[in-house]
């Protein structure tokens, strides 16, 4: 699907800021693989940038994006985010909770099973994600029922 906004086709997020705890990676080098979600720098085409260095509260984990006041109090409550069913993922920040149509099924998998797309453990997302509505019979001018963008 083509969209005026920048949606990551792997995790659905419109957030382009890496969390403060993200390992350093040279985003200008083609073919580098992200150690967190397994995407390549080619995939992101230099759309990402590192979060500014901020102190992490003692009661929060370094990768807990739900502690970010911008994500939790602003982005997730925006109308656009609500329309996309966005929520705060503790790893990548704001992300849609609807899996893309071509995502492998996760139902019936053990909690320790690893997602072949993001390399996250299935148990991490249990009860938080939803399957994408069937779009196999769509037309070229169809609108995505989740993101609201034209195909």
Tens-digit pLDDT profile for residues 22-81: 788 777 778 888 777 777 777 665 577 777 777 777 777 766 666 776 676 677 777 777
Does pTM top 0.85 for this prediction?
no
User: Mind listing the pLDDT tens digit for each residue in 118-151?
Assistant: 777 888 778 878 888 787 888 877 777 776 666 5
Q: Which two tokens stand for residue 89?
A: 């993922």
* Dist. CA 14–CA 66, nearest whole Å: 15
Domain coverage including residue 43 = 1-151
As for how many domains the chain has, the answer is: 1
Tokens 């849609």 correspond to: 96
**Alpha carbon of residue 108 to chain centroid:** 22
The answer to whether the CB of 143 falls within 8 A of the CB of 135 is: no
Pairing of strands 93-96, 86-89: antiparallel
Phi and psi at 124, nearest 5°, equal -60, -35
Place of tokens 């397994």: 38
């Amino acid at each position: 699907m083509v969209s005026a906004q920048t949606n990551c086709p792997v995790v659905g997020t419109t957030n382009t800021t890496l969390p403060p705890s993200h390992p350093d990676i040279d985003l200008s080098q083609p073919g580098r693989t992200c150690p967190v979600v397994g995407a390549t720098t080619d995939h992101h085409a230099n759309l990402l940038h590192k979060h500014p260095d901020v102190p992490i509260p003692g009661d929060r984990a370094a990768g807990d994006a739900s502690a970010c006041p911008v994500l939790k109090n602003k982005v997730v409550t925006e109308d656009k985010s609500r329309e996309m069913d966005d929520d705060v993922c503790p790893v990548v920040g704001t992300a849609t909770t609807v899996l893309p149509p071509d995502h492998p099924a996760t139902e019936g998998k053990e909690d320790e099973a690893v997602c072949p797309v993001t390399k996250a453990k299935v148990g991490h997302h249990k009860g938080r994600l939803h399957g994408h509505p069937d779009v196999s019979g769509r037309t070229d001018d169809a609108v995505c029922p989740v993101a609201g963008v034209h195909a």
